[in-house]
Amino acid sequence: MNHTVQQLLLAAVVVLPLLGSVAALVPAPPGLRGRGPDQAVMRHGVTVTGVVLAAAIALAAGFDHDHPARMQAQTDIGWIPALDIRVHLGVDGVSLPLLVLTALLTFLSALYAYFNRPSGPSPKAFVALLLLLESGTLASFAVLDLMLFFLAFEMVLIPMYFLINRWGGAERERAAWRFILYTLLGSVVMLLGLLLVGLAGGTFDMVALAADNGGKLSHTTQLVAALAIIAGLAVKAPMWPLHSWLPDAHTAAPTVGSVLLAGVLLKMGTYGLVRIVLPMTPDAAHTYAPYLAAFAVVGIIYGSLACLALARAGAKGDLKRLIAYSSVGHMGFVLLGIATLTPTGVNGALFANIAHGLITGLLFFLVGALKDRSGTTDLDQLSGTSGAALYGRAPRLGGLLAFGAVASLGLPGLAGFWGEMLAMFGAFDPADGLSRPAYLTYMALAAFGTLLTAAYMLIVVRRVCMGDHPVEPGTGTEAERPALADVHGHEFAAWSPLVALTVLAGLWPAALLGLTDPAVQQLLAGGTR
Amino acid sequence: MTPNASSLATSLVQSVDWLAVAPPTIAALAGLAVLVADLFLPERRKHLLGWGAIAGLALAALALLPLLDGDRSTFCLTTGAHTCSYTADTFALVIQFLVLGGALLTALLSFSALDDLKLPAGEFWFLLLSSASGAALLPASRDLATLVIALEVASLPAFALVGLRRGDRLSSEAALKFFLSSVTATAVMLLGVSFVYAATGSLHLSRIADALTHVDPRLDTLAQAGVVLTLVGFAFKTAAVPFHFWVPDTYVGAPVPVAAYLSVVGKAVGFSGLILVTVLAFPSYADVWGPAVAVLAALTMTAGNAAALRQRPERAFSAVRLLAWSSVAQAGYLLVPIAAAGYADSGQDASRAIGSTVAYALMYAAVNLGAFAVAALVARTSPANRLTDYRGLYAARPAAALALGFFLLCLAGLPPGVIGLFAKVTVFSAAVDAGLGWLAVVMALNVVVALYYYLQWTAVLFRTPEPAAAPEPVPTAGAAVTRPRAVPLTAAIALTAAAGIALSGAPQLVLRFASSTLL
């Protein structure tokens, strides 16, 4: 496709949600008023995110799939000459899937929220914040300037803070404050690292710095800068032991907030590692990789054990909190893949990123729907003595939940499998100079983590989906248990793309790996292969 | 007149470039006019004085426009090299713009405070305009005598402004504290100036710079002592540690608009004097003042942030107190590039470092005045001005809460306060470029620490209001209506917010000073 069209598409993907966010705050013009202002503004949200998704898909269609390593659709305009900060946008094989995933998940969230209005203050602000969040996330995947990356990274925090604080559940104020404090401190530390890289490297341009491959930075500078950047990104990813904001934030956030937080926001951390740390400070990445891998593996085991503890009967485990902890484990695989510094591992990490976005997004949607129906996400309350028997009471919902759970535990043939398999495969044969025995240990521990994951996911399925058929013994009448509505039409519309893509990515991983692999090879080799 | 006599006349009688000196002169004349008009205006027409003062300041600011085409000098020595006492170069114009704009915004803030606190209008406007004219004179002064006079013209009315709340014990105490510490600093500075004069035989900055390169070895100690003592006076004005103790009490005791004025224009006076003296007069003693200013900067930001962190939100006046300590910390950031100028290899590098201070000061002036404006607005309904009074401000006044949140994030240096972030980045890079790595690290730590209290305040704005206050929104709304509407105050908030947003969209507007030579 024409280069200018691609440029415009990419710019539109970043700018449209921002404009839409402002437009959401002004009263609707005549003709677009719909049934009352609330409905009109929610519809506005669906329209804008839909247009953005269409633009993102068009961008992906026009993307030159023969050269995914090349930055495409680049725009490069000066913004602040005094600091040599430029508005540099571009997309390659690493960022394209994330862009599309973000646009998709935000669209599905807006669609879901349209039919299932979140309880809280004005929908106007909700839509404006959702669009602002989308713009920030898309911008952080599209920008190629370190300072702009930081701005986009930060831009996401404020809408997310308000989404949790205003539309969240119990303990939302504390959770929101904790979320903003952790991620903000993390990103300021990251800013210092970025500044160091930019000032020592003489430019903030990410393409130039990556092509330079750390050549202009002394070893010490690299170590200091990479430590700061990794620390900041690790809070976001989140890496054990910097994850403790995550379970609270997820538990308190509204459904749509949880979906976007897990599906998209966490990816910004790992994306930053691949895009910034690996190519710009390669020596430091080499030094820190074993530690990063160790933390990643601890995260995998820790997340799984926490989930197992929550899934136990009588533990008063919250289903949302459980999925949040499972995210810690899954992101552990992503970090492990990155820390192998091999193309295999990094490709696996990027694949697992996307897979986690699809599957965990779906799971949070399902749990949100369950909460709407039964009023609780507490596993003990849900399952009672024998199990919640979702298969019997709402078979489609139960089936989808079971599907999400087995996808999450990494069943071959679904999206969750390939990323984690490749990450472990990368750990089996790490990059030159990294201690092989250490990585073999990590691999063994990670494999053990997948077993634990399977265990708690199956426990959840057993307790939520299975159970006695809700018939009063002897009488043959329905038990006093309230009826659950099965999946509604709009819920099917919001969830089926995620299910379809999970299956597609599981059966045809080459579609995604073909995009990321050349770009990863180039990033690891430093700009030019 | 014979040709001979006319040449004698030109050598003795200076021709004054009135256009160049117009900005401070107009401000001073407007002050006098207001004072005279106060005698003839009946009580109910006194508010016209305020508009007169605003017109005077606006006119003075407009008088900067014809000067933009190039450097102009006046009050020059008629003999020897071209040495002038007054130069309207880019640096002077930018600082004059800052000072006059700051005074203008202060004037807008003051309308409602004058009504609410029953301050004497004529005196207030006269003092504000005189102080502004002194502050506008200072950045253009190029000899030590003019500098000292400008500094005093800017300060003396400020003492009176602080103490203007008649019968208020806190106010008089604040004024006395401010006065005593300021006078001590001035005395020390005058001693320093006399030492420098004794060692160099000149008061003109450029001549001092020449003479200091070859000081008589026996006078070397005297010259060094003179350099250090001169800096003390300006360090006091910027409220640098250890000359900062007057700040919190003075800000709390003064009417809120006066505190805003001191925090912006008072500081501008201090750091521009510091820049002139260090960079223009004492470049050869950079090894003396460079490290001194660097240490001062580090101490100032650390002490300011540490004290700001320790503010208890439920204490009376905690909001103004927090702004006071935050302004101390911000003064620390302002000093960083001046210290970097001391380590610069060339005059051009030094000038560029100074540009970072100027850029930062412009950002700081806009957003700090904005924050004080919202504080003044809140002070109308809750005079104690505690941080807890800001809880749920968003529910009561969404626009004011959003504006304050934006100003605080600018001060913290976080998006969406983009300009705050990049102003900090320029200061940071000035330190790194000068090889002051340790200072950059101290600054980074301080920025991180400061995030906590700025964010906490911002978060308070959006909390749900106190449950006790919730059942009675009608009476508070009624009370707000009975008070006269604060149109000028709203205008001040709108102006500062617009400036902050414009700068965040196009940071180059002020950051270009950081990449150009000003002096």
For the segment A204-221, what is each residue's pLDDT rounded down to a tens digit? 999 888 888 888 888 999
pLDDT score, position B472: 42
Task: Suggest the residue from A162, A165, A191, A218 to mutate for an interface test with chain B (most B CBs closer than 10 A).
Answer: A191
B149 burial class (0-12, 13-18, 19+ CB within 10 angstroms)? middle
User: Does residue B95 surpass a pLDDT of 90?
Assistant: yes
Q: Is the CB of residue A161 less than 8 Å from the CB of residue A176?
A: yes
SS3 A481: coil
User: Does residue B333 surpass a pLDDT of 70?
Assistant: yes
pLDDT score, position B53: 93
Cα–Cα distances in angstroms (integers) from residue A50 to residues A26, A44, A416, A430, in the given order: 20, 10, 26, 41
> Residue B87: enclosing H or E segment and its boundaries?
strand B84-88
**Which chain B positions have a beta carbon within 8 Å of A151's beta carbon?**
415, 418, 421
User: Does residue A139 surpass a pLDDT of 90?
Assistant: yes
User: Does residue A490 surpass a pLDDT of 80?
Assistant: yes
Which of the given ranges, A311-315, B232-236, B333-337, B389-393, has the highest pLDDT on average? B333-337
The pair of structure tokens assigned to A82 is 């005094």
pLDDT in tens, A62-76: 888 888 888 888 888
Q: Is residue A474 a part of any domain in this protein?
A: no
Interchain proximity B508–A82, CB inside 8 Å: yes
pLDDT score, position A223: 93
Interchain proximity B428–A195, CB inside 8 Å: yes
- The domains of chain B are located at 284-469+483-519
Quickly count: other Cβ atoms within 10 Å of residue B391's Cβ. Answer: 20
Task: Report d(CA B45, CA A379) in Å as an integer.
Answer: 72
Cα–Cα distances in angstroms (integers) from residue B333 to residues B231, B264, B297, B370, B446, in the given order: 17, 14, 7, 19, 9
Task: Report d(CA A171, CA A184) in Å as an integer.
Answer: 20
Quickly count: other Cβ atoms within 10 Å of residue B392's Cβ. Answer: 18
Tell me chain B's radius of gyration from C-alpha atoms: 23
Alpha-carbon gap: A53 to the closest alpha carbon of chain B (Å): 25
pLDDT score, position B3: 52
Alpha helices in A340-430 (DSSP H): 343-374, 379-383, 390-393, 395-408, 415-428
Range of the domain at A168: 3-469+483-525
pLDDT in tens, B219-255: 888 988 998 898 887 887 788 888 888 888 888 888 8
Task: Report d(CA B113, CA B252) in Å as an integer.
Answer: 14
pLDDT score, position B470: 43
**Residue in B462, B507, B515 closest to A165 by CB:** B462
Task: Report d(CA B180, CA B8) in Å as an integer.
Answer: 47
Q: Is residue A144 a part of any domain in this protein?
A: yes
b/e map A61-92, b = 16+ CB within 10 Å: ebbeeeebbebbbbbeeebbebbbbbbbbbbb
**Residues of chain A with pLDDT > 90: what percent?**
42
The pair of structure tokens assigned to A247 is 């379970």
pLDDT in tens, A35-88: 778 888 888 889 999 999 999 999 999 888 888 888 888 888 888 888 888 999
SS3 B486: coil
User: Does residue B476 surpass a pLDDT of 50?
Assistant: no
SS3 B314: coil
User: Does residue B477 surpass a pLDDT of 70?
Assistant: no
A15 burial class (0-12, 13-18, 19+ CB within 10 angstroms)? middle
Interchain proximity B422–A81, CB inside 8 Å: no
The ipTM estimated for the assembled molecules is: 0.85
Interchain proximity B444–A155, CB inside 8 Å: no
Residues with Cβ within 8 Å of residue A71, at least 6 apart in sequence:
A90, A91, A92, A144, A207
**Residue in B422, B455, B463 closest to A83 by CB:** B422
Q: Is residue A411 a part of any domain in this protein?
A: yes
Task: Suggest the residue from B414, B452, B516 to mutate for an interface test with chain A (most A CBs closer than 10 A).
Answer: B414
Cα end-to-end distance, chain B, whole Å? 40
**Which chain A positions have a beta carbon within 8 Å of B447's beta carbon?**
188
Nearest Cα residue to A398 out of A322, A468, A479, A484: A484
Interchain proximity A181–B455, CB inside 8 Å: yes
**Residue B87 pairs with which residues in a beta bridge?**
B73
Alpha-carbon gap: B511 to the closest alpha carbon of chain A (Å): 6
Residues with Cβ within 8 Å of residue A224, at least 6 apart in sequence:
A193, A196
b/e map B208-241, b = 16+ CB within 10 Å: bbebbeebeeeeeebbbbbbbbbbbbbbbbbbbb
Task: Report d(CA A29, CA A23) in Å as an integer.
Answer: 10
SS3 B369: helix
Nearest Cα residue to A253 out of A331, A347, A318: A318
Task: Report d(CA B292, CA B352) in Å as an integer.
Answer: 20
Instruction: Write down how long chain A is.
Output: 529
Quickly count: other Cβ atoms within 10 Å of residue A33's Cβ. Answer: 12
Alpha-carbon gap: A372 to the closest alpha carbon of chain B (Å): 25
> Looking at chain A, which residue has its C-alpha nearest residue B429?
A199
Strand A85-91 relative to strand A72-80, pairing: antiparallel
pLDDT score, position B52: 92
Rounded to 5 degrees, φ, ψ at A313 are -70, 135
Confidence band for A288, pLDDT divided at 50, 70 and 90: very high
Task: Report d(CA B231, CA B213) in Å as an integer.
Answer: 19
pLDDT score, position A349: 93
Task: Suggest the residue from A80, A149, A235 to mutate for an interface test with chain B (most B CBs closer than 10 A).
Answer: A80
**Residue in B428, B455, B507 closest to A80 by CB:** B507
Task: Report d(CA A148, CA A142) in Å as an integer.
Answer: 10
Confidence band for A492, pLDDT divided at 50, 70 and 90: confident
Rounded to 5 degrees, φ, ψ at A27 are -65, 145
Q: Report DSSP letters for A49-97, one per residue.
A: HHHHHHHHHHHHHHS-TT-TTS-EEEEEEEEEGGGTEEEEEEE-TTHHH
pLDDT score, position A528: 45
SS3 A140: helix
User: Does residue A476 surpass a pLDDT of 70?
Assistant: no
User: Does residue B485 surpass a pLDDT of 80?
Assistant: no
pLDDT in tens, B392-416: 888 888 889 999 999 999 999 888 8
Q: Is residue A427 a part of any domain in this protein?
A: yes
Task: Report d(CA A95, CA A143) in Å as an integer.
Answer: 10
Rounded to 5 degrees, φ, ψ at B41 are -85, 135
**Residue in A81, A155, A188 closest to B448 by CB:** A188
**Which chain B positions have a beta carbon within 8 Å of A82's beta carbon?**
359, 426, 507-508, 511-512, 514-515
Q: Is the CB of residue B518 less than 8 Å from the CB of residue B355?
A: yes
Task: Report d(CA A518, CA A65) in Å as an integer.
Answer: 10
Confidence band for A529, pLDDT divided at 50, 70 and 90: very low
Q: Is residue A478 a part of any domain in this protein?
A: no
User: Does residue A105 surpass a pLDDT of 90?
Assistant: yes
Task: Report d(CA B44, CA B59) in Å as an integer.
Answer: 25
Confidence band for A158, pLDDT divided at 50, 70 and 90: confident
Place of tokens 């005593």: B180
If DSSP states are collapsed to H, E and C, what string results for B36-83?
HHHHHCCHHHCHHHHHHHHHHHHHHHHCCHHHHHCCEEEEECCCCCCC
Task: Report d(CA B389, CA B264) in Å as an integer.
Answer: 24
Interchain proximity B512–A82, CB inside 8 Å: yes
Nearest Cα residue to B131 out of B97, B160, B98: B160
Which residues from B are below 8 Å from A when comparing CB atoms? 359, 414-416, 418, 421-422, 425-426, 428-429, 432-433, 444, 447-448, 451-452, 455, 459, 462-463, 507-508, 511-512, 514-515
Confidence band for A479, pLDDT divided at 50, 70 and 90: low
Confidence band for B469, pLDDT divided at 50, 70 and 90: very low
User: Does residue B475 surpass a pLDDT of 50?
Assistant: no
User: Does residue A366 surpass a pLDDT of 70?
Assistant: yes
**Residue in A184, A188, A199 closest to B429 by CB:** A199
Give the count of domains, chain A. 1
**Which chain A positions have a beta carbon within 8 Å of B434's beta carbon?**
none
What does pLDDT average to over chain B?
Answer: 86
Task: Suggest the residue from B425, B432, B455, B512 to mutate for an interface test with chain A (most A CBs closer than 10 A).
Answer: B425
The answer to whether the Cα torsion of A214, A216, A218, A224 is positive or negative is negative
pLDDT score, position B8: 53
Angle at B464 (CA atoms; ends B458, B466), nearest 5 degrees: 105
Confidence band for A493, pLDDT divided at 50, 70 and 90: confident
